[in-house]
Chains A and B, each alone.
Chain A
Amino acid sequence: MSEKELAAETKLRREIKMRDFDPEFKREISKVPGIEKIKLCFQCGTCTADCPIARFSEIYSPRKIMRMTQLGMKDRLLSSEALWLCAACFTCVDHCPQGVDIAGVVRTLRNMAVKEGVIPDVFRELTDNILKTGYAYRIPELRLKKRVEKGLPPLPETNLGDLCKLFDAIAVSKAKTEKK
C-alpha cells in the first residue's frame, strides 16, 4: 500500500457515520451472562493503561473496544484485527473500577465474529484439532512413544464418541435459538 492509499484508508477508518451505530447492540450483547456490566464502562482507561499488549500495539485498546461496543459499532468491531490481540491475561478484569468483565466482552465479540465467518487461522486449527482429536494440539505418534521411553505413563485416550455427541447437541441448540 502506498503512503497516499494508507492515508486515505486511515481517514476512512477514522470517519464515523451515524449508520455505523446500532443502538440495539449493547442490549443484545448485555444479554450474555456475565457481560451485563458493559453499560457501566465510563471510559476511565484503566484497562488500556494496565494492558501489557497495549504497551506494544498501536491498534489494541480495550477502552476503545468497550466504547465501540456501547455505541454499537458492530461491523467495525467484528471485522477488526485488534479484536484478536487480547491475550486473556485478565489484568483489565481485575482492575476495572466498574466491574466490567472486559475480557468477557472481547470473548463474546470474538464468538460473534466467528458466527459471521471471521476467524484467524490459528483458532481455526485449534478448533479443528479439538473436534477431531479432543486435544487442542495434534500430538505426533513419535512423542507418544518417547513418553513411554522416558518412563512417563501413556497418554490416556479421550472418548471421541462422547465429544461428538456433545458438539452435535450444542450445534442443534444453536440452530434452535437462531430460528427463534
Chain B
Amino acid sequence: MAGLKYLLFLGCVIPYRIASYETSSRKVLKKLGVELVEMPEFNCCGLPIDSVDHDMMLVLAARNLCLAEQQNLNILTLCPGCAGALRKVNRSLQEDKKLKERVNGFLKEIGMEFKGGKIAVRHLIQALVEDVGLEKIKDAVVKPLTGLKVAEHNGCHVLRPAKYIGFDDPDNPVMLKRLIEATGAECLDYLYETDCCGAPIIGVNDKIPLYLAGDKLRNIKAVNAQALITVCPFCHMMFDINQPRIERLLSEKFGIPVLHYPQLLGLAMGFTPKEMALEELRVDATKLLTTT
C-alpha cells in the first residue's frame, strides 16, 4: 500500500467555510499513509458556472486537469461537486475528439494541452474504498465506535450521473455505509436516503431546499440516528449550518449533529475531538462522545 499520493484539489467551498472538513481529512489521510501534494495555481472546478456558460465550465475544469497531467498525479477532491465536474470533463474530453479539439483550442492560449488518459480524479470516499481499501481502514481503527447509530447522506455528485461517475449503486449506495461500519458505528437506513439536500438552489429559492433538507432530517430522526454523516461541504452546510433555520421554519426540533466522514473515522482512529475540529460544527456534537 506504500506510495499512495494525490494532488489535493480543495475547491472553493471548503476554504471559504468548511475548514473542519479539510482539517479532519488531512489528518486522517496522513495517518493512513496517504500523501497529499498541494495543487498549485488551481482554479474553480467550473461546476458553479455551468448554468451560465457551459464552455467556461469545460475550460475551467480542463485547466485543472492539465495542471494534474503536468504533475503526473491523480487528483483527490473532498467536494463531490468538484470531483463530479472534473471526472465528467476528464471522461467526455477523452471520448469526444471534437470537444477535446475545441477545448484545446482555448487552452493553447495559455500554452496548455489536455492530453487525456493520463490521470484520474477521485473523491475522498472513492479513494478510501478503491485505493486505500476497507481492510486497511478497519486496521487503523483503535477506538471502535461501538453502540453509535448514525445515518449517511452521500452527496449527489459522488454517485450521479452513473454513466460518468461509475462508483457504487446510485439507487442503493453502500460504500459510505461500509466506510461508516468500518469505524464500529452502525449505519441506519432511512426514507428518501438518496435524495439531494437541495443546497444548489439556495439563493434562487430558499424554501424548497429548507423543506427538503428538513424532510430528510425528520426521516433521520425517525430512525433514531444519533448523527448524520456527510462527505460534501455543501450538504454539510445545508444540514449543519442551516439546521437552526430549518428548525425555525418547520417549528420542529432535530438537534442532529452532522459530522464529516473523516471526523467520524478520525475519532475511531484515536484522534481527539479537538484534533478533528468537532467544536467547529454548528450543531453540538459533544453529547455524541459521551455515548461512544
User: Contact residues of A with B, CB < 8 Å?
Assistant: 33-34, 52-53, 55-57, 60, 84-91, 93-94, 101, 103, 107-108, 110-111, 114, 119-123, 126-127, 130, 134-137, 139, 143-144, 146-147, 150-153, 155-159, 162-163, 165-170, 173-174
CB of B204 within 8 A of CB of A170, answer: no
Task: Tell me which of B48-56, B132-140, B182-190, B260-268 binds A.
Answer: B48-56
Known: A134-B43, A158-B42. A147 touches B15 (CB 8 A): yes
The interface residues of chain B lying within 8 Å CB-to-CB of A123 are 48, 51-52, 204
Q: A57-B208, A110-B51 are in contact. List 10 more A-B contacts (CB 8 A).
A: A89-B196, A90-B161, A139-B16, A152-B22, A156-B39, A156-B41, A159-B41, A166-B109, A170-B53, A170-B56
The interface residues of chain A lying within 8 Å CB-to-CB of B204 are 84-85, 120, 122-123
CB of B49 within 8 A of CB of A126, answer: yes
Shortest beta-carbon distance from B211 to chain A in Å: 5
B side interface size, CB within 8 A: 65
CB of A139 within 8 A of CB of B15, answer: yes
Q: Specify the chain A residue showing the minimal Cβ separation from B20.
A: A150
Interface membership of B143, Cβ < 8 A: no
CB of A134 within 8 A of CB of B44, answer: yes
Interface membership of B38, Cβ < 8 A: yes
Shortest beta-carbon distance from A118 to chain B in Å: 11
Shortest beta-carbon distance from A69 to chain B in Å: 16
CB of B52 within 8 A of CB of A111, answer: yes
CB of A111 within 8 A of CB of B170, answer: no
Q: List 29 A-B contacts (CB under 8 A).
A: A33-B98, A33-B99, A52-B198, A53-B198, A53-B212, A55-B212, A85-B205, A87-B196, A89-B196, A91-B170, A94-B163, A111-B54, A114-B53, A126-B48, A135-B12, A136-B44, A137-B17, A147-B15, A150-B277, A152-B26, A155-B15, A158-B41, A159-B41, A162-B63, A162-B110, A166-B59, A166-B63, A166-B107, A173-B105
Contact of A127 among B49, B106, B207 (CB under 8 A): B49
Shortest beta-carbon distance from A15 to chain B in Å: 26
Instruction: Please report the C-alpha to C-alpha distance between residue A55 and residue B162 in the assembled complex, in whole angstroms.
Output: 22
The 4 closest A-B pairs by CB, nearest first: A122-B203, A89-B196, A90-B160, A89-B156
The interface residues of chain B lying within 8 Å CB-to-CB of A136 are 12-13, 44, 48-49
Interface membership of B68, Cβ < 8 A: no
Shortest beta-carbon distance from B215 to chain A in Å: 8
Q: Specify the chain B residue showing the minimal Cβ separation from A108.
A: B54
Contact of A169 among B12, B109, B195, B212 (CB under 8 A): B109
The interface residues of chain A lying within 8 Å CB-to-CB of B12 are 135-137, 139
Instruction: Please report the C-alpha to C-alpha distance between residue A108 and residue B55 in the assembled complex, in whole angstroms.
Output: 11
CB of B195 within 8 A of CB of A52, answer: yes
Q: Specify the chain B residue showing the minimal Cβ separation from A155.
A: B15
Q: Specify the chain A residue showing the minimal Cβ separation from B157.
A: A90
Shortest beta-carbon distance from A177 to chain B in Å: 10
List CB contacts (< 8 Å) of B34-79 with chain A.
Answer: 38-44, 48-56, 59-60, 63
